[in-house]
């Protein structure tokens, strides 16, 4: 079917409208301006590293240690300030998410994604598994953890026992023992924030590392890990894209986004005018 000039122009304008916002380059700065646990998804920007399913994850950030054992004598403090030995809590399959609480976007997204996955698991919290959010920032305190926990338990369904999700803080030595134990790396920036991957590990009741889950933490992947942890059988991880979270300040880019909005609007107006003009000429 032959297109009229107006229809062709409309298609071009439509493609430009979609291309324009995507062509903007956003700065990758990590700004910790919000309260711990503040979920600000509008300012979230992902950067993907690693390879697609079936290929290797970037070992510089996550070195999978499936089948090895996590030291369980390490002690942390929970959100109530109570000293907690890992082995006293990891007495059944446990989801271990390394994050830090005073993070404006990436960690809040990770925690929100995990909460969403927990709501969709076929297994039952408490009876089948437990959850740990472990801060790798040794400057954070139980008070910080408590504020973060209050935000994220709100996302859980009512039957989820909040006591089965611990938010832990600890010393630099304790943190390093655990993150090295699961092969998880992070890098502190000059402004006190961290670059880190979005990854969690599922640990068996004896501390054995069973499975890694990456990216948005799909419930199906976690369910498989919990099932394998109950059987004591390490399993291969699905090699999804390894995500890094670089956050940006919308205030610095506000004028750019406003300009894009105006351009897109003008493109659509021009396209509609040309289509109407072409349609009237055709009727004549």
- 59/117 same-domain check: yes
- 278/137 same-domain check: no
- 223/209 same-domain check: yes
- 197/270 same-domain check: no
128 or 39: which carries more pLDDT confidence?
A: 128
What value does the mean pLDDT take over residues 263-278?
A: 70
Q: How confident is the model at residue 182 (pLDDT cuts 50, 70, 90)?
A: very high
What value does the mean pLDDT take over residues 3-23?
A: 50
Q: What angle do CA 111, 117, 123 make, to 5 degrees?
A: 130
Phi-psi region at 161: left, alpha or beta (left = phi > 0; alpha = psi -120 to 50): beta
- 9/125 same-domain check: no
- 201/111 same-domain check: yes
**Does the global pTM surpass 0.85?**
no
- 56/97 same-domain check: yes
From 105, 109, 171, 189, select the one nearest 134 (Cα to Cα).
171
Range scoring the smallest mean pLDDT among 118-122, 133-137, 195-199: 195-199
In a domain, 35, yes or no: no
pLDDT at 212 over 60: yes
Q: What pLDDT does residue 61 have?
A: 84
Question: DSSP class of residue 252?
Answer: G
pLDDT at 113 over 70: yes
In a domain, 179, yes or no: yes
In a domain, 167, yes or no: yes
In a domain, 36, yes or no: no
- 241/255 same-domain check: no
pLDDT in tens, 147-176: 999 999 999 988 899 999 999 999 999 999
Q: What pLDDT does residue 283 have?
A: 61
- 157/256 same-domain check: no
In a domain, 216, yes or no: yes
pLDDT in tens, 38-69: 444 333 334 444 333 333 445 678 999 999 99
Q: Is 103 assigned to a binding site?
A: yes
Q: Is 45 assigned to a binding site?
A: no
In a domain, 120, yes or no: yes
CA 197 vs CA 71, 105, 243: distances in Å = 22, 13, 6
| Average pLDDT along the chain | 77
Which two three-digit tokens encode residue 228? Answer: 């394998």
Q: How confident is the model at residue 24 (pLDDT cuts 50, 70, 90)?
A: very low
Q: How many Å apart are CA 214 and CA 130, to the nearest integer?
A: 18
Percent of the chain with pLDDT over 70: 63
Which two three-digit tokens encode residue 280? Answer: 């009237």
CATH number of 220's domain: 3.40.30.10
Percent of the chain with pLDDT over 90: 52
Q: What pLDDT does residue 109 have?
A: 85
| Stated length of the chain | 284
Within the chain, where are the H helices? Answer: 5-22, 86-89, 106-119, 142-153, 172-182, 219-231, 254-283
Q: Is 38 assigned to a binding site?
A: no
Range scoring the smallest mean pLDDT among 127-131, 240-244, 264-268: 240-244
CA 204 vs CA 89, 128, 131: distances in Å = 11, 11, 12
Range of the domain at 171: 41-245
- 224/114 same-domain check: yes
Range scoring the smallest mean pLDDT among 46-55, 139-148, 230-239: 46-55
Residue linked to tokens 């859980």? 156
Number of domains in the chain: 2
- 264/279 same-domain check: yes
- 236/255 same-domain check: no
């Amino acid at each position: 079917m032959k297109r009229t000039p107006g229809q062709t122009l409309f298609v071009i304008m439509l493609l430009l409208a979609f291309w324009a916002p995507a062509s903007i380059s956003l700065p990758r700065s990590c700004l910790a301006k919000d309260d711990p646990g503040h979920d600000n998804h509008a300012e979230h920007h992902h950067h993907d590293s690693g390879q697609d399913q079936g290929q290797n994850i970037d070992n510089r950030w996550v070195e999978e240690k499936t089948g090895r054992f996590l030291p369980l004598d390490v002690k942390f403090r929970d959100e109530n300030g109570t000293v907690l030995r890992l082995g006293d809590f990891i007495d059944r399959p446990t989801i271990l998410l390394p994050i830090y609480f005073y993070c404006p976007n990436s960690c809040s997204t990770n925690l929100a994604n995990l909460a969403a996955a927990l709501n969709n698991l076929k297994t039952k919290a408490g009876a089948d598994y437990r959850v740990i959010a472990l801060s790798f920032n040794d400057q954070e305190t139980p008070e910080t953890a408590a504020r973060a926990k209050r935000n994220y338990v709100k996302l859980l369904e009512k039957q989820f026992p909040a006591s089965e999700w611990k938010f832990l803080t600890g010393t630099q030595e304790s943190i390093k023992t655990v993150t090295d134990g699961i092969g998880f790396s992070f890098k502190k920036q000059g402004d006190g924030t961290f670059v880190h991957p979005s990854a969690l590990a599922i640990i068996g009741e004896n501390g054995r590392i069973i499975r890694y889950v990456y990216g948005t933490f799909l419930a199906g992947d976690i369910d498989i890990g919990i099932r394998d942890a109950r059987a004591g059988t390490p399993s291969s991880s699905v090699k999804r894209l390894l995500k890094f979270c670089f956050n940006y300040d919308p205030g610095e880019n506000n004028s750019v986004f406003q300009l894009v909005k105006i351009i897109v609007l003008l493109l659509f107006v021009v396209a509609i005018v040309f289509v109407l003009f072409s349609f009237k000429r055709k009727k004549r």
